[in-house]
């Protein structure tokens, strides 16, 4: 086997260069200088790269095999293919500085051979959407972005409870009075919402609208806790089984019922966008709508797309990264996104339909699922149910989950299938979901 000599790693210098284009990385970085000798050519080559530490950690924990593929690409160019391949293979599972250096050196090198992903962002459905395409498909970006944007706008016009003329608002207005024709997507979403309602024994309930409204801040008013009477009255109007579906129409069987698709609509929208991109012959992309993400194919040079989970205890920081299975989706629910502060206490926007109170006990739930509608509905529903009662549902659906209890220091309770795909970026205990 040919040999390779690693010389040194320099101390952090504060500068920064993204090693692989998909992810934004933190500010901390390290300059690595490396030098190697090829036995074949007897040439000494030195190289110097500045990489973010987050990428370094990613490389060590999750990107080993992807890195190997990159390695081959870049190493071929230097004429050292076997050396890299053998040595990385031999020691990849050990955390060693030399191997760090290998990967630090080689990941940036691979970006020389694979064009960076390109992305287009727009506002829709009250949040931000980003379509990212692998660089090799960059020419399809603007066409696909225009199409998905239009789709999202049309869907929002059907579903939004903030628009009086949307199909959902018009149906809410005649609850308990008469059925109303509803467009196809709205009808389909009602069907799916009922499925997830049953699956979660009512923890996920899209008729939660009247209760959610009690926890919304009202402009110009000091927030106060809803009274028990108000909660009891609102809860009497909550029951997803009272959504009756008939040919092309829907009927909300109780007066005062209000459907709120906030817990599932974005996921459904992501699936629509995903299908549209595939229909447009885009194969390698990621679509993100307010944290509801679905991926397709690979990012560059065979790397799986990876997504970040924000730290629920420090929203400016990333808690972990997850390498996404092909075609899968991910969604996260947490009370930190939207909440109301009453007498110094925070109350979140995800409500437990059993009590009428915001669900408590967890800081966040992340669900990976084969489609984004499922990921979205389950992340909301399982946030309410809590880890223990969620286990049978996770097993039944084949989804993967990360539960973050609402206590510090942070802990991650995960399904066994997600462990190898997870890179935790802060000091946190990771364990298999208790009771699994
Ligand atoms: P997500 O961010 O996907 O977890 O959705 C949260 C939104 O879902 C809230 O802002 C409400 O509009 C709605 N929601 C709140 N509680 C529930 C619940 N128990 N079941 C279904 N939807 C809910
Ligand atoms: Mg949801």
Is residue 212 within 8 Å of 384, Cβ to Cβ? no
- Which residue CA neighbors atom 2 of ligand 1 most closely? 333
Atom of ligand 1 nearest to the CA of 260: 12
What's the confidence (pLDDT) of residue 11?
30
- Higher confidence at residue 39 or residue 250? 250
Is residue 67 within 8 Å of 88, Cβ to Cβ? yes
Is residue 204 within 8 Å of 350, Cβ to Cβ? no
Structure tokens at 390: 């969620």
The pairing of strands 411-414 and 429-432 is parallel
Give me ligand 1 centre to Cα 178, in Å: 26
Q: Is the pLDDT of residue 161 over 70?
A: yes
Q: Is the pLDDT of residue 21 over 80?
A: no
Atom of ligand 1 nearest to the CA of 266: 3
- Which residue CA neighbors atom 6 of ligand 1 most closely? 263
Please write the tens of the pLDDT for every residue from 49-94.
333 334 444 443 333 322 322 332 232 222 222 223 323 332 233 3
436 vs 428: CA distance, rounded Å: 20
In the predicted model, what is the mean pLDDT of residues 190-204? Answer: 98
- pLDDT > 90 in the chain, percent: 66
340 vs 246: CA distance, rounded Å: 38
278 vs 276: CA distance, rounded Å: 5
Atom of ligand 1 nearest to the CA of 203: 19
Give me ligand 1 centre to Cα 380, in Å: 6
Cis ω for the linkage preceding 409 (within 30 of 0) = yes
Give me ligand 1 centre to Cα 212, in Å: 8
Give me ligand 1 centre to Cα 351, in Å: 7
All residues at 6 or more sequence positions from 394 whose CB lies less than 8 Å from its CB, including other chains = 378, 382, 400, 401, 415, 433
Indicate which ligand has the atom closest to the C-alpha of 202: 1
64 vs 66: CA distance, rounded Å: 6
The average confidence (pLDDT) of the chain is 79
Q: Ligand 1: which residues within 6 Å by Cβ?
A: 204-206, 208, 212, 260, 262-263, 333, 349-351, 353, 376, 379-380, 384
Query: Which letter does DSSP use for residue 259 in this model?
Result: -
Q: Which residues of 257-295 are buried (b: 16+ CB within 10 A; e: fewer)?
A: bbbbbbbbbbbbbbbbbbebbeeeebebbbbbbbbbbbb
288 vs 436: CA distance, rounded Å: 30
Instruction: With cut-offs at 50, 70 and 90, classify the pLDDT of residue 98.
Output: very low
Query: Which letter does DSSP use for residue 328 in this model?
Result: -
Is residue 303 within 8 Å of 40, Cβ to Cβ? no
Please write the tens of the pLDDT for every residue from 324-341.
999 999 999 998 777 788
The runs of H, that is alpha helices, within 160-219 are 167-173, 184-199, 209-214
Cα–Cα distances in angstroms (integers) from residue 354 to residues 57, 112, 176, 261, 385, in the given order? 42, 55, 22, 18, 10
Distance between alpha carbon 372 and the CA centroid of its chain, in Å?
Answer: 9
Q: Provide DSSP, 285-316.
A: EEEEETTEEEEES-SSTTPPPEEEEEETTEEE
Give me ligand 1 centre to Cα 257, in Å: 16
Instruction: With cut-offs at 50, 70 and 90, classify the pLDDT of residue 157.
Output: very high
Number of Cβ within a 10 Å radius of residue 74: 21
Please write the tens of the pLDDT for every residue from 101-152.
444 444 444 445 678 899 999 999 999 999 999 999 999 999 999 999 999 9
What residues does the ion ligand 2 have nearby, CB within 5 Å?
Answer: 263, 376, 379-380
What's the confidence (pLDDT) of residue 203?
98
Most ligand 1 atoms within 8 A of CB, residue of 265, 349, 403 to mutate: 349
- pLDDT > 70 in the chain, percent: 74
Please write the tens of the pLDDT for every residue from 213-222.
999 878 888 8
Kindly report the length of the chain.
Answer: 436
In the predicted model, what is the mean pLDDT of residues 306-316? Answer: 91
């Amino acid at each position: 086997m040919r040999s390779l000599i690693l010389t040194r790693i320099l101390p952090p210098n504060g500068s920064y260069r993204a090693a692989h284009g998909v992810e934004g990385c933190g500010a901390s970085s390290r300059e690595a200088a490396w030098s190697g000798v090829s036995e074949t050519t007897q040439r000494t080559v030195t190289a110097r790269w500045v990489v973010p530490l987050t990428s370094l950690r990613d490389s060590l924990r999750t990107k080993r095999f992807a890195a190997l593929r990159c390695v081959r690409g870049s190493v071929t160019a230097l004429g050292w293919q076997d050396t890299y391949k053998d040595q990385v293979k031999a020691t990849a599972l050990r955390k060693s500085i030399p191997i760090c250096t290998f990967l630090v050196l080689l990941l940036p090198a691979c970006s020389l051979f694979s064009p960076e992903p390109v992305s287009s962002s727009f506002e829709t459905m009250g949040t931000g959407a980003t379509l990212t395409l692998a660089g090799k498909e960059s020419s399809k970006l603007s066409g696909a972005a225009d199409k998905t944007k239009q789709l999202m706008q049309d869907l929002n016009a059907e579903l939004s409870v903030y628009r009086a003329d949307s199909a959902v608002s018009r149906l809410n207005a005649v609850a308990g009075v008469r059925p109303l024709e509803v467009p196809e997507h709205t009808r389909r979403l009602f069907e799916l919402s009922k499925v997830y309602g049953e699956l979660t024994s009512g923890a996920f309930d899209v008729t939660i609208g009247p209760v959610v409204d009690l926890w919304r801040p009202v402009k110009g008013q000091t927030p106060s806790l809803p009274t028990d009477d108000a909660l009891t009255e609102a809860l009497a109007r909550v029951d997803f089984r009272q959504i009756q579906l008939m040919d092309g129409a829907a009927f909300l069987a109780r007066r005062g019922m209000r459907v709120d698709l906030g817990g599932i609509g974005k996921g459904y929208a992501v699936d629509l966008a995903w299908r549209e991109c595939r229909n447009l012959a885009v194969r390698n992309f990621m679509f993100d709508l307010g944290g509801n993400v679905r991926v397709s194919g690979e990012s560059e040079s065979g790397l799986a797309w990876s997504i970040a989970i924000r730290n629920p205890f420090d929203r400016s920081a990333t808690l972990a990264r997850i390498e996404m299975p092909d075609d899968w989706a991910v969604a996260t629910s947490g009370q930190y996104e939207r909440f109301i502060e009453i007498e110094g206490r925070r109350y979140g926007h995800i409500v437990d339909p059993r009590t009428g109170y915001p669900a408590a006990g967890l800081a966040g739930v992340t669900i990976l699922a084969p489609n984004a509608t499922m990921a979205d509905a389950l992340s909301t529903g399982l946030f309410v149910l809590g880890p223990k009662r969620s286990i049978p549902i996770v097993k039944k659906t084949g989804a993967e989950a990360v539960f973050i209890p609402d206590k510090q220091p942070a802990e991650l309770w995960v399904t066994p299938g997600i462990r190898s795909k997870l890179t935790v970026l802060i000091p946190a205990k990771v364990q298999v979901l208790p009771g699994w």
